[in-house]
Amino acid sequence: MIKKGIRRQIVLHYFIVVFTALLLVEVIFLLAIRSYYYDSVYSHIYGYVKNAEDYYQKFRLFEEENINILSDMLANFRMTSTELQILDIKGKVLINTTEFNPDTNITTSDIPQAISGNMGRWVGRQPSTNEDVMAVSKLIQINGEDKFILRYTTSLTTVNDKLFNVTLLSLGIGMSVLGLVLAFSLGLANSIVKPLNNITAVSAQMAKGKYKVRVKGDYKYELGELASTLNHMAEEIVRSNQVKDDFISSISHELRTPLTSIKGWGETLSSGGFDPEETKVGMQIISKETERLIGLVEEILDFSKLQHNEMKLVVGEVILKELLQEIMLNMWTKAEKKYIKLVLESDDNPVVIGDGNRLKQIFLNLVDNAIKFSEENSVIKIVLTCYPGQVEVDVQDNGLGISEEHLNRVRDRFFQVSPLNGGTGLGLAISQQLVEQHQGTMEILSELGEGTIVRVMLPLVEDCGSTDENTVPDE
């Protein structure tokens, strides 16, 4: 017995469908073959009866009804291996070829059919011999008057034997087909259930946290897809776990540095004995490091808000050029430390509908990255260009660049090419989501060792109306 499950369902479905179809075909086939055999017997007798009738009509052999005439008739019209009876029109046997019980009355359904002028036909069991027979009866008229009924009775034993053999054969074929179907459906069910069991076992292991296990085996079609999706999922979990681990270690580092500095200065200042100038420097460092810490925590909070769709934009008109100028001022000192020159190129003055603070956050992060990953004495350009219906802001640097391998991962949360550079790996992920919240797009074009362009496209309600006829850049 197959235990409950897909295997049993498949086998049962196939079995029921094929069994029903076979049963139907066999019944129709056997009925057709039975009717064919019986019809052949009937046609054979029918031909004989018709001949007898024609013969009689032509020669009008029997003008008078007496036993001699009946005997002649019996002799003339008899048919081999068939009993011929001549009956009166009430169905009483007058004479028959077997000399058996001539006086009996025949009451089978072929007699009333014959009396009504049709060819009578009856199939049933002959009580005297207890065998299956077919009787064919025909009324004979003399001078328009109903006179006799010719009744031929033939045994159906041979035909029934043949039918029995055909039935046995077709049942045998049916059973073999059913057996084949069972074997085939079991094979098919196994080919689905075995991989499924394997995949279930592997996913149970994964559910316990063992993400190194993989579904092995070259499965086809949907099962193959399921197996590779599960394997891919495990790889992604391992990867994101790795990214999270990296994040935790880099964020711990990021937090420890300012905290150590704050703690150090706090302890130093509390021991007393410093002049006001030294105390001022200490306090400034504590304040700067605290600000850094707040920045870090805010970045993490922002990301969490964006993840849960809780970030609400305070939308208004933003003059983009002014916003970018402000960013240049904010980042000036940081750039100065690396002797980096910040340049803003813009002939237009577009007005964007958006959240000024969030837009500022985007570009601050992009310029901060550009400074962080650029060599000393380099130039960072912020280029603002207007197109019909949208504005493009490129933040271009000639710094480290990003390899092709890492390019499509830098926007993943917590991803950093090297955790040693500081930061959280959340900047680009946050920028990307904020740009999307402004119905814009963010594209990163970079080549390792050559530099990077981060291109932000934002929609414009009104065109800039600049003198330059810019066309939309190629996708």
Nearest residue to ligand ADP, scored by beta-carbon proximity: 423
Under the binding rule (CB under 6 A), the answer on residue 363 touching ligand ADP is: no
Q: Which is nearer to ligand ADP, 194 or 381 (CB)?
A: 381
Under the binding rule (CB under 6 A), the answer on residue 458 touching ligand ADP is: no
Is 425 in contact with 369 (CB distance < 8 Å)? no
Under the binding rule (CB under 6 A), the answer on residue 165 touching ligand ADP is: no
SS3 375: coil
Under the binding rule (CB under 6 A), the answer on residue 425 touching ligand ADP is: yes
Angle at 394 between CA 391 and CA 397, to 5 degrees: 175
- Eight-class DSSP state of 420: G
Binding residue (CB under 6 A) for ligand ADP from 335, 370, 391, 442: 370
Binding residue (CB under 6 A) for ligand ADP from 373, 385, 434, 440: 373
Q: Which is nearer to ligand ADP, 118 or 403 (CB)?
A: 403
What number of chain residues touch ligand ADP (CB under 6 A)? 22
CB of 451 to ligand ADP, least distance (A): 7
**Of 75-83, 161-169, 343-351, 419-427, which part binds ligand ADP (CB under 6 A)?**
419-427
Spatial CB neighbours of 141, under 8 Å, sequence gap ≥ 6:
147
Is 215 in contact with 230 (CB distance < 8 Å)? yes
Binding residue (CB under 6 A) for ligand ADP from 154, 369, 390, 433: 369
Please report the sign of the dihedral spanned by the C-alpha atoms of residue 297, residue 303, residue 308, residue 310. positive
Is 324 in contact with 384 (CB distance < 8 Å)? yes
Q: Which is nearer to ligand ADP, 206 or 331 (CB)?
A: 331
Binding residue (CB under 6 A) for ligand ADP from 346, 424, 434, 438: 424
Under the binding rule (CB under 6 A), the answer on residue 416 touching ligand ADP is: yes
Q: Are strands 351-354 and 341-346 parallel, antiparallel or unpaired?
A: unpaired
Angle at 165 between CA 163 and CA 170, to 5 degrees: 95
Under the binding rule (CB under 6 A), the answer on residue 410 touching ligand ADP is: yes
Binding residue (CB under 6 A) for ligand ADP from 340, 427, 455, 458: 427
Under the binding rule (CB under 6 A), the answer on residue 434 touching ligand ADP is: no
| Rg (alpha carbons) of the chain, rounded to whole number | 51
Under the binding rule (CB under 6 A), the answer on residue 400 touching ligand ADP is: yes
Cα–Cα distance for residue pair 406/391, rounded to 1 Å: 27
Question: Which DSSP string corresponds to 136-149?
Answer: EEEEEEETTEEEEE
| 440: its two tokens | 């814009």
Spatial CB neighbours of 326, under 8 Å, sequence gap ≥ 6:
360
Cα–Cα distance for residue pair 265/274, rounded to 1 Å: 12
Q: Which is nearer to ligand ADP, 56 or 303 (CB)?
A: 303
Under the binding rule (CB under 6 A), the answer on residue 361 touching ligand ADP is: no
- Residues from 72 through 91 that contact ligand ADP (CB under 6 A): none
Interface contacts to ligand ADP, rule CB under 6 A: 365, 369-370, 373, 397, 399-402, 410, 415-417, 421, 423-429, 452
